[in-house]
Chain A
């Protein structure tokens, strides 16, 4: 009756750890073995820390044996997207410019994980500086979707979602600026949540777009996401933009899993033309399930969502162009001297380093952002985009008068093949079309698997959206829908993913 460690949910592991059926060292070791077995192919991890993870695990085991009161998730290991500062562990943000950089401090979120006694397995792969929807823009090579290794695992947090989908970790931390937690969750058949903006501290989250970034849980179940959300959420005095209020009652809502009487709003502008047929079908079926369970389904219109992509790709590059200015070869990170220049100036070293250290997508967005902020163009671009943003937030507010949660397909397609969208930046950007509005308005969003698309047998996701500060609604509806779908499937969707070839016969 031994619990299958790597296939278990975090909640199941937590239970087994609490009852001493398992030790944290055993759990961590099992995960490390799994990573060793499959990550050669999946490439979810940029850095694995066996020593650190096992030491932390042992410490938790000792404290538990001594009768100490521990956090519910104590001893459950986790992977962390390489955009979060981890003291003593390299933090590259998927970029050459930070190759080998070891931060002298922990992000608040990481400190909370450590305080809860959760061993950190390692850092996961990502699109460089979180700019991308496929993890192909990582300077260290892409990650691969466990459902089909020739396909993208989503982005920018493809490493975290792939790690969870490939059973390399029960939990992972991702970050979401325009969908980078939710879209990877959708294409890998896992769960991903972007909390309300300000709900999770950004201190130590290497900034892409400061007014859009949020860190959140990447898991295999809604309850696991809720448990992780309550560890990492909450006010942080080191982050001026963090909300000074308790974490919403997400675990309670996930356990209660109620939809009766709830109004569910389908967003007219999301999920129509341009969305893969199989994705839409699974979405519509999920909505029907909710209706059958007693939810009232309405249609809402958010007309300015049609401008969300445009506003986003002005606001993000603008903030990013400023946030990435600090990478200049003077204090840390890569330093490259310009070729053929005797006695280069600081300016020349900066320019040579940034050309060598940044990838093409990053450079594109920096240049775009520099333009959008420049004198004479500010009003027409950045300024105007911030106004459109207000209108999008107003649309949400109006929609939430008519519905308690909004729904849409998470992404327009299932996982595409590696290399398919690299030639056309705009084609890549369109992957975020359904997820971006939530970041602009700051409202929370969740993606859970809705099933496999008929055309290709690949996972699709349904996105749930709630008003700012009402994250618990996502978990209530999400958990309810998840249970219904599980019943329908006879087990988790992930069990249908092909078995990965393992090195050395380990599992």
Chain B
């Protein structure tokens, strides 16, 4: 079972868009190491033929009819916006093109 290196944690923090300080990174490597050791216990269980369970309840086919329902007003939508302009959310420059 692989341990998490500092670089690994830094990479994961990047994926999760959290700018960890060096101190936080150091601390987290230790803590996560301990936790991972514990949770890796799941690998002891022989479960090759077991169907994974992502839902406690075996529901299927829950849908709704294609009928319009009231939206929020634009003012409600934008009420908590950190910045807005032209009735849109203003966000800082985006680096990567989608």
Residues of A within 8 A of B (CB): 101-102, 104-105, 197-198, 211, 237, 240-241, 243, 304, 307, 309-311, 313-314, 321, 325, 328-333, 335, 338, 343-352, 354-355, 358, 360, 363-364, 366-368, 370-371, 374, 380-381, 383-391, 393, 424-426, 429, 440-443, 468
Contacts and interface: CB of A to CB of B under 8 A. Distances in A.
Contact of A211 (B4, B32, B35, B54): B54
Contacts of A338: 19
A424 B34 CA distance: 9
Contacts of B14: 351
Contacts of A371: 4, 8, 12, 32, 36
A390 B81 contact: no
B39 A381 contact: yes
A243 B80 contact: no
Nearest to B95: A345
A393 B52 CA distance: 11
A117 to B, nearest CB: 24
B4 A333 contact: no
A391 B41 CA distance: 14
Contacts of A352: 19
A335 B92 CA distance: 11
- The 3 A-B pairs of least Cβ separation, nearest first, read A442-B56, A386-B52, A332-B80
B12 A349 contact: no
A366 B83 CA distance: 26
Given A307-B42, A358-B18, A367 B47 contact: no
Nearest to B49: A387
A197 B80 CA distance: 32
B87 interface: no
A351 B17 contact: yes
B95 A346 contact: yes
Given A354-B18, A367-B18, A198 B56 contact: yes
Given A350-B17, A351-B18, A331 B42 contact: no
Given A198-B59, A370-B12, A374-B15, A364 B52 contact: no
A494 B38 CA distance: 37
8 contacts: A101-B80, A241-B55, A307-B41, A351-B19, A352-B19, A358-B18, A363-B24, A389-B53
Nearest to B40: A310
Contacts of A385: 39, 42
Contacts of A429: 35, 38
Interface in B1-38: 4, 8-9, 12-21, 24, 27-28, 31-32, 34-36, 38
Interface in B74-98: 76-77, 79-83, 89, 91-96
Given A328-B17, A338-B19, A364-B28, A345 B12 contact: no
Contacts of B21: 355
B72 interface: yes
B45 interface: yes
Contact of B56 (A314, A367, A381, A393): A393
Contacts of A350: 17
**Do most interface residues of chain A lie in helix, strand or loop, or is the interface mixed?**
helix
B48 to A, nearest CB: 9
B32 A441 contact: no
A211 B83 CA distance: 34
Contact of B32 (A237, A335, A368, A386): A368
B55 A211 contact: yes
A358 B20 CA distance: 11
Nearest to A330: B91
A426 B38 contact: yes
- Chain B CB within 10 A, most for which of A354, A371, A383, A441: A371
Nearest to A424: B34
A164 to B, nearest CB: 27
B28 A310 contact: no
Given A198-B56, A346-B93, A390-B52, A314 B18 contact: no
Contacts of B31: 364, 425
B67 to A, nearest CB: 12
A367 B32 contact: yes
Given A211-B56, A387-B53, A426-B35, 12 more contacts: A211-B54, A243-B57, A307-B44, A310-B41, A355-B20, A366-B16, A367-B18, A370-B12, A371-B4, A387-B50, A391-B45, A426-B38
